[in-house]
Structure 1
């Protein structure tokens, strides 16, 4: 997450202040039994709803443009050929592993359990109306073969108008592949246009996120007034499970990938990526860490420059393993918190959207918020619950950014295996050959 201009209070501190203010006010109401004037409570709920509606308004064009451009960049046939496809395949595979670990941890430890079911149902009833007003359609079950059929929209415009996020993301994925296959001057211009759409959405998301401190205060007040101290206990359990899942992916999955598929000693890899590791954790920004990561890949890991620069540049915006894992953990935690049991089919939906969302939430401060909010209403969980996790989001943002950056370096190591920089440019003359004796 980025901060405001130098000399001003960073945005994440304002968010933390809003979290503390809302939590404190809500706990006071809960513990003292104070009755809040209904009109005031309605205004407080409306503030949170406005924030959520702004996120939903921007999420589909953001995801479509980011996913289509991300796939088009990863599959640049003319410049890197098979390297682009290897990068795309690796990104999807490792994101699936990350989300699988996250979902497994939440199902085993169940950090959202323990709240009063009656209170959960009370807030669930409050949030259901607001959520349904924002997103109307949500797949609730999976029948044999029907799920995969529903992933392919018969009319993408209708799917978008009904906020069916998964079919739209699948269309964006296919659209990006189509731009690669039909590579031409016109498709290059189309890609630039989509890049422009993405940048506009990023700017607007940044503006909306500036409203987050006020929205967090409103959302947290409503939650704390209902749940009291149970809120803090569940929040601590959620943070521990999220960090634990990230640690498993970082210290078990990544070393195995580097060793088995990258052909490199994991200890050598760890020594080579220390600097980008620290910078990613301290800045919580993949883009800010990119120059440090490129330097480490070329000087410490000795990876081919043309491969590492391509993979790391694309990965900084599209290979978001930590973000995908975080989204999956958060959705299941909030479902448990509100007493909603998600079936295996619904969890599969969450997993697929998180994998695609890891490509589609590129480089945006708190950019996972729209994806999380939309997944929540897809599976019938009040999007208002998102205010609960924003209080600890700064620390988790640092952790998942570190996971993202390290994953980019792992991808560069794996994709670089068997590749070299020995490519003779077309416009460079061949070396002179000595005449025969």
Structure 2
């Protein structure tokens, strides 16, 4: 009996580990293995791809069902509009602050100074920002089924909001449909939990591939850019977000930072705000006590329009490119960058690499060489890790502040948050209340 119990201990210890610790172990092992294997670590990439595909599988149904359930659970269109306005105002405001921090960091550390690069012809085509009216028109799906099939998150959100409001307005006749959507949403939450069990292994495969493909040698010429973006990300999360939680929400910021570990680890490795949404919703409800109604509405919205990390990255990279090519920017150029990046963030898809496309809009707007994209593209995957992490941390911060302002934050869960998975599991039902 004793011998059997002893042999079972290693597996049991791994099972008892919290998810973020498993993910951290996977990251560390992935970096080590990738560094040792070099380019041949490509063979491990399918492990990470499998995890990413499983996450992507969840996105559309999770956003659609969660939004409908969130809206119908409010049962008050005025309340929904109020929450939406609060969330959008916070998202846009924090995005403007993020790009200001990025510009400030790049101005202080001057990562592009001394490169003395000269603009030349480039194969990378500039992306033109669509007119505002066209952006608004594109939000309305001509075919909702087509939007669901193609994964157009912004159109899905608009359709889900419209359907949710309609269900809330027709009263008793909507009850069967609402119960169906609630059941489907619960099924998606359970499927999310099952998929997240693959996270440590997927993270291992992804990190091994990144470390093997890029290596330290590739990062050395641009290590200063990477360092400035990562430092700016830490400042934005630890100082700015925590400050808002403390001063506006009157809550313990340490609790908020602690709850970020799992979704931040997923965001860092998958580089997808939409892909991290399952983990974000789970953490907001179970560890921060955000109500089902608020989390189901605010978080999917944030995964689409809240791109603080992308904005911060654009600020650093735009100024880096200006410095690298010896171009002096006027005060009006800085203002233009802030406004462009803030508005462009609304249309940035929450998928890997989308920030690089949006950066081209910023460069074009202020007349910076589009060739700069070729420089950034080489390290974009590494920078994407930092900016995606900032994005989802901002989503969770806004969900907490909105829930607190609406009286829908379970303080017992927030204040009694512990590091044990058992307590989190016990509190899940209270979080959904």
- The TM-score with structure 2 as length reference comes to 0.57
Deviation, structure 1 residue 375:
2.2
Deviations 1:295-339 (A, max 9, x none): 211121111210112111111121111011111211111111111
Structure-1 separation of matches of 2:400 and 2:143: 28
Is the 1:77–1:84 Cα contact (8 Å) retained in structure 2?
A: no
Counterpart contact for 1:113–1:337, Cα < 8 Å: yes
Q: Does structure 1 residue 346 correspond to structure 2 residue 333?
A: yes
Classify the secondary structure of the residue corresponding to 2:114.
coil
The aligned counterpart of 1:127 is 121
Matched, 1:168 2:131: yes
379 and 200 in structure 1: CA distance in 2 versus 1, 3 angstrom threshold: same
Give the Cα separation in 2 of the matches to 1:288 and 1:302. 22
State the partner residue of 1:220: none
Which stretch has the larger CA shift, 249-258 or 76-85? 76-85
Q: Which runs of no fewer than 5 residues in structure 1 stay unpaired? A: 1-5, 14-69, 136-162, 180-186, 203-228, 423-437
1:30 is matched with which residue?
none
SS at match of 1:127: coil
Equivalents in 2 of 1:234, 1:269: separation in Å?
Answer: 35
Aligned to 1:114: 114
Deviation at 1:364, TM superposition (A): 2.9
Unaligned runs of 5+ in 2: 1-41, 50-66, 155-216, 410-433
Alignment partner, residue 83 of structure 2: 83
Name 1:182's counterpart in structure 2. none
Root-mean-square deviation (CA), in Å?
A: 3.7
Alignment partner of 1:377 is 2:340? no
Out of 323, 331, 345, the residue aligned to residue 358 of structure 1 is: 345
CA separation of 1:113 and 1:416: change in aligned 2, threshold 3 A: same
Indicate yes or no: 2:383 matched with 1:396: yes
| Separation in structure 2 between the aligned mates of residue 333 and residue 12 of structure 1, nearest angstrom | 31
**Aligned mate of 2:405, from 407, 415, 418:** 418
Tell me which residue corresponds to 2:237. 250
Q: CA deviation at 1:258?
A: 0.8
* Deviation of the 1:168 alpha carbon: 2.0
Q: Distance in 1 between matches of 2:82 and 2:93?
A: 16
After TM superposition, list the pairs within 5 Å mapping 1:207-218 onto structure 2: none
Tell me: CA distance 1:298–1:197, structure 2 relative to 1, closer, same or farther (3 Å): closer
Alpha-carbon displacement from aligned partner over 1:240-292 (angstroms, at most 9, x marks no partner): 11111111101100110111122210011122232212222232222232122
- Is 1:101 aligned to residue 101 of structure 2? yes
CA distance in 2, matches of 1:336, 1:342: 9
Match in the other structure for 1:32: none
Cα distance in 2 between the residues matched to 1:195 and 1:354? 25
* Partner Cα distance (1:285, 1:134) in 2: 23
1:337 to 317, 321, 324: 324
Aligned 8 A contact 2:356 2:380 in 1: no
2:306 pairs, out of 295, 319, 324, with 319
Q: 1:189 to 1:111 in 2, by over 3 A?
A: closer
- Whether the aligned pair in 2 keeps the contact of 1:111 and 1:234 (CA below 8 Å) is no
Counterparts of 2:268 and 2:219, CA distance in 1: 25
How much has 1:349 moved relative to structure 2?
Answer: 1.0
1:406 is matched with which residue: 387, 393, 396? 393
In structure 2, what is the Cα distance between the partners aligned to 1:353 and 1:275? 31
The number of residues matched between the two structures is 283
After superposing the two structures, state which structure 1 stretch, 340-349 or 283-292, moved more: 283-292
Match of 2:92 in 1: 92
Would you say the 8 A contact 1:316–1:405 is kept in 2?
Answer: yes
The change in CA–CA distance for 1:194 and 1:322 in structure 2 (over 3 A counts) is farther
Q: TM-score, normalised by structure 1?
A: 0.57
* Equivalent residues of 1:106, 1:332 under 8 A apart: yes
Question: Hey, what does 1:368 align to over in structure 2?
Answer: 355
Distance 1:200 1:362, change over 3 A: closer
**Partner Cα distance (2:145, 2:310) in 1:** 26
CA distance in 1, matches of 2:398, 2:153: 27
8 Å CA contact 2:106–2:319 kept in 1: the answer is yes
Q: Quick check: 1:304–1:420 contact (8 Å CA) kept in 2?
A: no
Partner residue in 1 for 2:190 = none
CA contact (8 A) 2:249 2:404 kept: yes
Contact 1:258 1:414 in 2 (8 A): yes
Q: Write out aligned runs for 1:214-225 (5 A).
A: none
